[in-house]
Amino acid sequence: MKLNKYSKVFLLGFGFFAISITWSVYNAFIPLLLGKFIESTALIGFIMTFDNYFALFIQPAVGSMSDSINTKFGKRMPFIMIGMPLAALFIFILPNYSSVKTLILFLVIMNLCMSIFRSPVVSLMPDITPPQNRSMANSIINVMGGLGSVLGYFVGSILWGKSEKFPFYMAAILMLFSLLILFTFIKEKRDSINYEKETINNLSFLKNTKSLFKNKNTLYLLFAICSWFISFQGIEALFTLYGQRYIGVSGGTAASTLTFISLSFLLFAVPSGILGTKLGKKKTITLGIIGMLMCFIILAFVKSIILIRILFSICGLFWAMININSYPFVTDMAPEGQVGTYTGFYYFFSSIAAIVSPPALGFIMDKIGYQFMFVYGTLFFVIALIFILLIKDSSTESPIVKVSDFIV
């Protein structure tokens, strides 16, 4: 059976599914495990940034390396074939810690393994998709990622009530299943556009980095990405503690509340991709930022868990408008043969945000109160809006979206 372009993207989405379910379980339940040993919210926030240190220093280099190599399995697949099974192994053993030291050790090793394959998995989408279809393709793979987040938060919170180990076991098993799907159905050399040409034309990582700083539009976009991730990831990483210590709900209830963002994101991912294709990526992202600003301003004054869930559902729509179109916007700016490198830049700037934000927000919450969490989030969405408005978007979208593209 021949697979059309979006069917391949759907299958590639299992890679995003595995990544998303892992980070949802990580963000929801690792703070609760650490909270058994550590009282300081700032310190817990710092430990929650470990994954981003690896993303900061390893993923750009891995992305560039995956642009340059040429193996029997392709450029990206070797990293996926090594990183995913190792990550699954350490996700599985992570909840079997004997002390806070072994818990942190398992966290470090798991994060190292995740950093080996994240950039290559993400880079496969633009590899197999022409620029005019990338917003739509990104929406499809983010539906898969959103499904992973929903399972991580919602099913994970149910499993957490039965055993603290079960959410991690679920994530590990589903990661191995996703690897099997990728290895079976994605043949990189067959499916990639201009595979040989892109491999040959690749420049060194240092030269690629120098060229980045000559492009103001790309820098403005990356600064905007950094700003909105400072806002969102700080809140996501510490919301379960916010729910427990400020709203007064259980850890499981707080974790399941995050499901409302993920589920809404899942529902609006494809419409956001269509909107990005028709309206343009910059305009769609701008509308999303304005929407998030409005929601966060209201959330700063709300303590009702029911109202928070309603507002989180609305946030999911606007977050989809931003996230679905931001990575394709970055890859559109990448020179030929440098998609992996620019994917690394995307992770570099988002990782800076994720490194800085949880401990900074944790410090603020320790010093002046939990009620300032969404004020903090609002501030950085304002900064993101300023940067996105500075971009001179000369691109034109060519909507090539047909109903038949969704039929396998």
Q: The domain that contains 315 carries what CATH number?
A: 1.20.1250.20
Most confident of 90-94, 265-269, 392-396: 90-94
> Please, what sign has the CA dihedral across residues 190, 3, 323, 397?
positive
Residue 400 lies in a domain: no
Q: How far apart are CA 136 and CA 358, in angstroms?
A: 31
Q: Write down the residue that tokens 């919210």 correspond to.
A: 41
Query: 79-83, 207-211, 330-334: which range is least confident on average?
Result: 207-211
Residue 397 lies in a domain: no
Task: Find out whether 60 and 345 touch, Cβ atoms under 8 Å.
Answer: yes
pLDDT digits (tens, 9 = 90+) for 255-313: 889 889 988 988 898 899 999 989 999 999 999 999 999 999 999 999 899 999 999 99
Residue 399 lies in a domain: no
The whole-number pLDDT of residue 212 equals 62
- What is the SS3 assignment for 304? coil
Structural domains of the chain, count: 1
pLDDT digits (tens, 9 = 90+) for 192-236: 776 655 554 555 555 556 666 667 888 999 999 999 999 998 998
Residue 339 lies in a domain: yes
The whole-number pLDDT of residue 129 equals 85
Q: How far is CA 387 from CA 175, 214, 315, 318, in A?
A: 36, 17, 20, 17
Residue 377 lies in a domain: yes
Q: How many helices (H) and strands (E) does the chain have?
A: 19, 0
Report the DSSP beta bridge partners of residue 71: 74
* Count of C-beta atoms within a 10 Å radius of residue 371: 13
Residue 50 lies in a domain: yes
Residue 66 lies in a domain: yes
pTM for the whole thing?
0.75
Domain that holds residue 160: 5-187+214-392
Residue 142 lies in a domain: yes
In 40-159 the beta strands, taken as DSSP E runs, fall at none
In 184-309 the beta strands, taken as DSSP E runs, fall at none
